Amino acid sequence: MLLPFFQWLESLRFGVAVDESGYFVAAVNVAHLLSLTVFLGAVLMVDLRLLGRGIREQPLAQVALDAQPWLIGGFLAMLATGLLQLLATPMKAYYSDQFWLKMYLVLFALAFTLTVRRKVTQADETRLGPVWGKVVGLISIAVWVMIAVQGRLIGMLQ
Amino acid sequence: MSLRSWFEWVNEFPSSVAIRESIYGYPYLLTFHAVSMALFAGLIVMMDLRLLGIAYRRTALSQVQKQLFPWQMFTMGLASVSGFVLLYGQPTRYYGKVFFWLKMALMVAAGVNALVFHLTTYRTVAAWDSSQRVPLGARLAGALSLVLWAGVVVFGRITAYNWMTFE
């Protein structure tokens, strides 16, 4: 269904125009990875706290608030570098199972983070049972790790 | 024996050859290494931001340090073991990569930076633990750590390309 769109991206020949040497895609890759480290750091600060580890001295909502700018900043940087990567090599993405799996996981992770995880991190901890925080923290870590795994595999499995 | 001949010696081990020749060994090992490295570096970045005094300022620095440390060690363990297996599987390939050696050098520098910080500025942490003003030594250590580990991630990533290799 989306094939014409990807073919149109390919027809822009953005990748070829800016990147005869291959250095551009490499630089975008590196920037995407650096953004990921910041993002994952912010995710882990809150998820570890949800699991009852990490900085326990602070209320959960406080940790989430402190981590938020790095979470959002890291995500936006990943989005920008990811879109550049997609513009440079659209057909490689289109024919990669890992790419599509990653996109579905990102949609799920975003929805989960903006609804359930957000709700739980802002909830009154004393009223939040001991189990829910742990479940949410584990799901969040697992999904973002799977996204990172698929992302790395796009470059290697054809 | 020269360093090169050690690498060449390991290169001939049957277990090294087996890793090298397995079809999915390299992509999955490399992915495991990259993701565990990203988790580790993420936790390091969060600590560095606290050292710089720009994040998690409401929490005492010693608390952030103490409670992130086990997770930093755990993820570093995952990245180190997978990194070692990657090297073990292709020793002569990595021997010839400038980026690989730069990464190793930066890791040593990052380790020295952390050690120096703990032996100097961090000794007086009780005096400034919860203060909004982090001493210059701590901010310096945080900035250096950020730059050095970013370098490790960058050189690690571009080690996967075949640029800047020698015989």
In angstroms, the Cα distances linking B49 to A38, A66, A135, B139, B140 are 10, 11, 28, 9, 11
CB distance A19 to B143 below 8 Å: no
A68 in contact with B at a CB cutoff of 8 Å?
Answer: no
| φ and ψ at residue A55, rounded to 5 degrees | -80, 90
Residue A27 lies in a domain: yes
Q: Per-residue pLDDT averaged across B108-121, rounded?
A: 96
Query: Which residues of B have a CB under 8 Å from any CB of A?
Result: 26-27, 30-31, 34-35, 38-39, 41-46, 49, 55-60, 63-64, 67-68, 71, 150, 153-154, 157-158, 161
Residue B166 has pLDDT above 90, yes or no: no
In angstroms, the Cα distances linking A99 to A23, A143, B162 are 21, 15, 24
Contact A70 B35 (CB under 8 A): no
Partnered with residue B27 across adjacent β-strands are none
pLDDT mean by block of 10 residues, chain A; 158 residues: 90 78 90 98 97 91 96 98 93 95 98 96 80 94 98 89
Q: What is the pLDDT of residue A12?
A: 86
A101 in contact with B at a CB cutoff of 8 Å?
Answer: no
Contact B157 A33 (CB under 8 A): yes
Residue A6 lies in a domain: no
- Note the pLDDT tens digit of each residue in B19-66: 999 988 899 999 999 999 999 999 999 999 999 999 999 999 999 999
Q: What is the pLDDT of residue A125?
A: 77
Residue A68 lies in a domain: yes
Residue A13 lies in a domain: no
CB atoms within 10 A of CB B123: 10
Judging contacts by C-beta atoms under 8 Å, the chain A residues touching residue B27 are 153, 156-157
Contact A66 B55 (CB under 8 A): yes
Residue B161 has pLDDT above 80, yes or no: yes
Judging contacts by C-beta atoms under 8 Å, the chain B residues touching residue A67 are 46, 55-56
Judging contacts by C-beta atoms under 8 Å, the chain A residues touching residue B45 are 37-38, 41
H helical segments located in A12-158: 14-18, 23-50, 60-88, 90-94, 97-112, 118-122, 130-154
Closest-CA residue to A45 (of B44, B150, B43): B43
Residue A41 lies in a domain: yes
Interacting residues of B64 by C-beta distance below 8 A, sequence separation 6+: A55, B46, B47, B50, B56
Q: What is the pLDDT of residue B70?
A: 97
CA distance B25 to B27: 6
Judging contacts by C-beta atoms under 8 Å, the chain A residues touching residue B67 are 53-56
The residue extents of the domains of chain B are 3-159
Q: Per-residue pLDDT averaged across B123-149, rounded?
A: 93
Q: What is the pLDDT of residue B87?
A: 97
Distance from CA of B46 to the nearest CA of A (A): 6
Better-predicted residue by pLDDT, B128 or B72 = B72
Least CB–CB distance from A38: residue in B42, B56, B63: B42
Contact B154 A66 (CB under 8 A): no
Judging contacts by C-beta atoms under 8 Å, the chain A residues touching residue B46 are 41-42, 44-45, 67, 70
- Note the pLDDT tens digit of each residue in B80-95: 999 999 999 999 999 9
Q: What is the pLDDT of residue B131?
A: 83
Judging contacts by C-beta atoms under 8 Å, the chain B residues touching residue A153 are 27, 31
Interacting residues of B7 by C-beta distance below 8 A, sequence separation 6+: B91, B92, B94, B95
CA distance B77 to B92: 24
Angle at CA A51, nearest 5°, toward B64 and B44?
35
Residue A99 lies in a domain: yes
Number of separate domains in chain A: 1
Domain residues for the domain of A56 are 19-154
Residue A5 lies in a domain: no
